[in-house]
Structure 1
Amino acid sequence: MAPKIEYSVKEQPLGSTRHIRIVGIGAGASGLNMIRTLRLNLTDYELVVYEKNHDVGGTWFENRYPGCRCDIPSHNYQFSWKPKHDWTNFHAPAEEINDYLRQVCDDEGMREAIKTSHEVVSARWNERDGIWNLIIRDLGTGIEFDDHANFLLDGTGILNNWKWPDADGIGRYQGTLIHTARWPRGFDPSDKVIAVVGNGATGIQVLPELQKGAKKLYHVVRTPTWVPPPRIQSWKLMGQAEEILSKIQLDAQENFSQETIEKFKSDPEFYRTYVKEIEALVNNSFPIVLTNSPVQAFARAKVTEYMTAMLGGDEKLCEALIPDYPLGFRRMTPGHSYLQALTMPNVEVKTGGVVRFVPEGIELDSGEIIEADVVVCATGFDTSFCPRFPIVGRNGNLQDRWRKETPKAYMSCAVPGMPNYFAFLGPNGPIGHGSVFTLSEHIAKYITGIIKKCQVEGIKSIAPSQDAVDDYFEHISTFMPRVAWSAPGRSWFTNGQATGPVTALHPGSRIHFFHMLEKFRGEDWEYGYDNVKRNRFAYLGNGFSTKELDPKGDSTWYLDAPTIVA
């Protein structure tokens, strides 16, 4: 018979913290913001962020293809706590966004917490000690070493692990093979025959740039895609933000005039009004994807009209490029110059998929062979959510689980059986709902609140319950038929599966997601405690509170506290 464990009072005041080690993975926007959020909210902790690239920036460090830019307005694609007043264009180019992230990193002194050219090789949960045992590889030397973390924060992102087309014989091709996520510096398209495979956001952006110099350009389109008018044109068409937009000056390429940039710098009230009104417009786009809504019907008719006009009414092009599925089923990227480029004499659109590579080019599913000097694959990323390295929790390797079954997470950021593991924009996160910067801020505050709870309440391990995740997924599955994302067909929202569940998007609007994360639902989680008796109230300690023992604190704060419950 096991000896009875006696309970004893901890000789520390309520509010005491235990020292913890936090490891972050990835120094893109989410990773950088997390550093700041932890600094503002936690004490008594250590942090290291491992970044596989040789500099910070994540997606915006890696993606540098010609024409690469964000499809969110630049002044809303930034941290709310680090405004930039001198964006050059209404939609910022990739290099400028990466410069912004590097500047944030330097201004905030974040590099001391980041180890670049390091990748996580594996992570294994140690139940006894309540830590993640990690193996890290220094990519500069190839040397591997051990590390550990009480909390593992995964900021690797969804649009990060690029993939080639699902076609045979890729090694047989004897020309120049390029993936847009690994663009070769100095590549010159002049006088070359180029095949561009893919018409998602990347294909829409890169094609016009290549068309200008190519001798011949073949565009391989497997699925039509909606290409809306430029945002400003769309908003004006809908009668939105006319007053604020009338106060800025843009040229034909949507570059801000120097006068407008100076106004952003010198007039804080105008700048704030502009940012908030544009943000509200981005947030209000959700009704468009409601399949049977009047907004969907109106917008679809207008986009059809616009695309037809931009394609010069060419019946063959209109048939190949204008979809019959709902607006918003695939991510919509404005592409004024894209549609115009398709009407140029050196461009030929080919419908169908690539089945194999051949020495001289690619073979389509029709049997046609396209000979090309260069094949550019704008074929996107692995959006399966399957981790790129083994993450072994209580229920085995998460890689194995998510290869066999639909990835499921709690509010996109936590997984059953994976204690003290949190992800940014995991399964059913709002990755297509607007700026990832402000999304990452809300997620970081949510995760940090949980970590702080564990740190001060003696919680050794925390993970969402399977029941909670199953209920959450049942809601997602029942909701999704209401929106365009679940229409039949292939998109990266369903990991390229024609009939797959929507795994990449949140079941609601952007504001809905923010609202959902405002409160921590403690009843949805399973806890392990760090005292031998596993008493959940051991953290109450010796009867005193840190609020009364802090010489710089206000022990009568409650006299000033509001009576309204948030």
Structure 2
Amino acid sequence: MIAANEMQTDWSAPSQKSIDDDRPIKVICIGAGISGMLTAIRFPQKIKNLDLVIYDKSDDIGGTWHENRYPGVACDIPAHSYQFTFANNLNWSSFYAAGPEIHRYLKNVARRYDVERYVKLRHLFLGARWQAADGKWEVEIEDLESGRKFTDRADILIRATGILNRWEWPDIPGLRDFKGTLLHSADRKSWETPLDPKGKRIAVIGGGSSGIQIVPQLQPTAARIDHYMKGKTWVSPVGYGSDKSNRGVTDNYKYSEDELRTYRENPEEYIRYRREIERIMNAKPEILFKGTEEQKAFFALNDESMKQKLSKKPHIYESLRPDFSPFCRRLTPGPGFLEALVEDNVEFIGCGIDTVVENGIKANDGKVREVDVIICATGYDTSMENEPPIIGLDGKTLADMWNPDPQAYLSICVPKMPNFFIFFGPNGGAGSGSAIPFLESVTLYLVKLVQKIQREYIKSMVVTEKATSDFVKHVDEYFSKTVFTETCKSWFKRNKQNGRVTALWPGASIHTQKALENPRYEDFTYEYLDALGSNTMAWLGNGTTVAQVSGEDTTEYLVDNDVPPPIVEGVHEWDN
């Protein structure tokens, strides 16, 4: 018997080989966060003769959960939902997991699946160009350790960098004149030496997720906290997935040792609990649509919660309370944030900043507040602009294709970009439900595309402009009915008050699973490798399978159980 991996195959003659003796294929993936990890797990499992390399600029895997180290960093999706469907963690310590705990989980999964064998860390992606002559991507990389720049080549290029990877300092006059400690929430180097807030006067600028998480962490021991937050936002009291008192509702519930022991000793009970959370997250999302009774009730619930929690300082409620609906901006549970704002050592400044001076901040009210530390919790550049150049057909860059608005077919493919696929592309974020099952669906979809390219000797697979524009029309029609298109500054709309929703999928996470289940190959155009000659069906091979040639089992299609089961159990035509 010849082992399948020892077969000597002439892949330049597809008609002379077994149909499933797939040609070698090279895949380059940029980014080793959750999407890159999924690529490293599923691609080798399902794609034969695969050469996979994943480049990441950081010194460890984990993406945003490696990069973000600020005090209080956490996920605002329940921990038991924010994990791979195939790798349950029964030991999450709290309802909303802290960033370091999530990173440890990702590292454990990476070790279990040997992810790091495919990853080259401290390698910066500089750009890529499609070589139409031989159907390859030329990818420019810089080794950040040695400074060496080099070119790698691949049949497939995947961008898995996400949207939370390029932070920027706020454009505030005088920021660099500050003589105290200046930090940015997203700058990992800022937090290599942990900040001791005890006795310090601290200014926190920004009211997104990071600012809302930082303030309650520092408030108990800081001498004073000034929170500069000009925009309005909803801080929701509601967590997903529990009818038990306090769980993810009024605080970040901590699991007891008895609960954790129950989950470890009774996996069925754990799965029941996880499904309970998922069902609530996957509920039909009437709450997201304009004018529904569910949205009105949720508006009232959030309004009353904020009013009660800020009753000691009602001026903060008046400054924070939006006119737009919950979910127009990303909704943040923010355990402990509103409670921190009403403490005596916290001042909320909602009038905006005029300038930063050497010893503090001058606000638009004319008052200079002296501080020892300024933390800019101002987030990331989510415009999808200023990316390293990716050059496809006819010299078109990805920036060209995304001007004036980023658009992609099913969030994954872009016209003029052959054999190029994206995680978290335009409209590639989960509108409701968990992001990770969403990304798992994208991964399996990409596996099918790559398998087709590989087996059918496809040189170039590129989505049509018609299919892309039709998808975009559907996206815009869907979101026109939702609260996402109300007037509010949101990264869903590239940090604009109004405009197209470019960050979210038009539906729930489970909707994505159905949408990507069966690729519409008719939405692509193809160019084939010369090895096929004039017959594009030559990939069918010589009529054999690898199992026949190698002497391996040829009966894997025989299974004991019918799926789905027979309509009437226990009745067989061969009964005597």
TM-score by length of 1: 0.91
| 1:479-536 C-alpha deviation (Å, 9 max, x unpaired) | 2121111111211111111222111111122222221111100111111111264643
In structure 2, what is the equivalent of residue 280 of structure 1? 279
Judge which range, 163-172 or 24-33, deviates more: 163-172
CA shift at 1:342, angstroms?
A: 0.7
Partner Cα separation in structure 1 for residue 498 and residue 176 of structure 2: 30
SS of corresponding position for 1:153: strand
1:92 to 76, 86, 97: 97
CA contact (8 A) 2:263 2:270 kept: yes
SS of 1:147 mapped into structure 2: strand
Partner of 1:496 in structure 2? Answer: 495
Q: 1:192 aligns with which of 197, 200, 204?
A: 200
Instruction: Name the CA shift for 1:368/1:400 in 2 (closer, same or farther; >3 Å).
Output: farther
Within the candidate set 209, 219, 225, 1:211 is matched to: 219
Structure 1 residues 433 and 534 mapped into 2: Cα distance closer, same or farther (>3 Å)? farther
The reply to whether residue 111 of structure 1 matches residue 120 of structure 2 is no
**What SS is found at the alignment partner of 2:29?**
strand
CA distance in 2 between counterparts of 1:246 and 1:253 reads: 11
The number of equivalent residue pairs is 548
Q: CA deviation at 1:207?
A: 0.7
Distance change (3 Å), C-alpha of 1:16 and 1:314: same
Q: How big is each residue's C-alpha offset from its partner over 1:81-130, in whole Å with a ceiling of 9 and x where there is no partner?
A: 11111111111111111011111111222221111111111211111111
* Pairs within 5 Å for 1:104-253: 104-182=109-187, 183-184=190-191, 185-231=193-239, 242=243, 245=244, 253=252
Structure 2 matches for 1:443-454, cutoff 5 A? 443-454=442-453
CA deviation after TM superposition for structure 1 residue 190, in Å? 2.2
Aligned-partner Cα distance in 2 for 1:138–1:259:
48
Please point out which of 44, 48, 67 is paired with 2:72: 67
User: Residue type of the partner of 2:324?
Assistant: Y
Counterpart for residue 326 of structure 1: 325
Deviates more, 1:393-402 or 1:435-444: 393-402
Cα deviation, residue 49, structure 1: 0.9
Query: What displacement does 1:230 show?
Result: 4.2
Aligned-pair distance for 1:353?
3.8
Gaps of 5+ in 2: 1-12, 565-576
Matching residue's letter, 2:92: W
Indicate the residue corresponding to 1:294 in structure 2: 293
Q: Hey, what does 1:389 align to over in structure 2?
A: 388
* Number of the residue aligned with 2:9: none
In the alignment, which residue of structure 2 is the partner of 1:37? Answer: 42
> Which residue identity does 1:38 align to in structure 2?
F
Alpha-carbon distance, 1:559 to partner: 9.7
CA displacement at 1:546 relative to structure 2: 4.5
Q: CA deviation at 1:397?
A: 5.3
SS of residue paired to 1:482? coil
The correspondence of residues 415-494 of structure 1 with structure 2, limited to 5 A, is 415-494=414-493
The aligned residue for residue 529 of structure 2 is 530
- Say whether the 8 Å CA contact 2:431–2:507 is kept in structure 1: no
Shift in Å, 1:463: 1.6
Q: Which amino acid aligns with 1:324?
A: D
Inter-CA distance 207–108: structure 2 relative to 1 (3 Å threshold): same
Paired residues of 1:356 and 1:362 also in contact (CA < 8 A): yes
CA contact (8 A) 2:204 2:228 kept: yes
CA distance in 1, matches of 2:460, 2:274: 40
Q: In the superposition, relative to structure 1, how do residues 285 and 66 fare at CA in structure 2: closer, same or farther (>3 Å)?
A: farther
* Counterpart mapping for 1:335-354 below 5 A: 335-354=334-353
Closer, same or farther in 2 for the Cα pair 1:399/1:528, shift >3 Å?
closer
8 Å Cα contact 1:250/1:257 also seen in 2:
no
Matched residues in 1 for 2:85 and 2:74: separation? Answer: 20
- Taking the aligned partners of 1:149 and 1:143, their CA distance within structure 2 comes to 19
Query: SS at the partner of 2:380?
Result: coil
Tell me by how many angstroms 1:468 deviates.
0.8
Q: 1:205-252 CA deviation, whole Å, 9 max, x = no partner?
A: 1111122222222111121111111416xx6xxxxx53xx48999997
* Distance 1:558-1:108 versus aligned 2 partners, 3 A rule: closer
The match for 1:22 among 24, 27, 32 is: 27
CA distance in 2, matches of 1:513, 1:364: 45
Letter in 2 for 1:502: V
Q: Distance in 1 between matches of 2:14 and 2:223?
A: 80
Does the Cα contact within 8 Å between 1:251 and 1:257 map onto a contact in 2?
A: no
| Greater alpha carbon shift after TM alignment, 476-485 vs 389-398 | 389-398
Task: Provide the rounded CA distance (Å) in 2 between the counterparts of 1:530 and 1:137.
Answer: 30
Equivalent-residue separation in structure 2 for 1:216 and 1:246 (angstroms): 32
Query: 2: distance between equivalents of 1:212 and 1:559?
Result: 61
User: 1: CA distance between counterparts of 2:400 and 2:163?
Assistant: 18
Q: Which runs of 5+ in 1 are unaligned?
A: 1-7, 236-240
Identical residues among aligned pairs (%): 36
- Please give the root-mean-square deviation of Cα atoms over the aligned residues, in Å: 2.6
The TM-score normalised by the length of structure 2 is 0.89
Amino acid at match of 1:51: D
1:36 aligns to what SS in structure 2? Answer: helix
Q: Which residue number in structure 1 is paired with residue 554 of structure 2?
A: 554
Is 1:520 matched up with 2:545? no
2: CA distance between counterparts of 1:421 and 1:150?
A: 9
Query: Structure 2 counterpart of 1:25, which letter?
Result: I
Answer with 265-274 or 367-376: which moved more: 367-376
Structure 2 Cα separation of the partners of residues 196 and 73 of structure 1: 26
2:61 to 52, 56, 61: 56
CA displacement at 1:55 relative to structure 2: 1.0
Question: Structure 1 residues 551, 329: CA separation in 2 closer, same or farther (over 3 Å shift)?
Answer: same
Change (3 A) 1:412 1:534: farther
**C-alpha separation between the residues in 2 aligned to 1:446 and 1:465?**
17
Report the CA distance shift for 1:252/1:522 in structure 2 as closer, same or farther (over 3 A).
closer
Post-superposition shift, 1:435? 2.9
C-alpha offsets along residues 236-285 of structure 1, whole Å, 9 cap, x if unaligned? xxxxx53xx48999997511110100111010110111111111111227
Query: Which deviates the most, 358-367 or 552-561?
Result: 552-561
Q: Write the letter of the residue equivalent to 1:552.
A: E
Query: Structure 1 residues 354, 410: closer, same or farther in 2, change over 3 A?
Result: farther
Q: 1:559 to 1:347 in 2, by over 3 A?
A: closer
Moved more, 343-352 or 264-273: 343-352
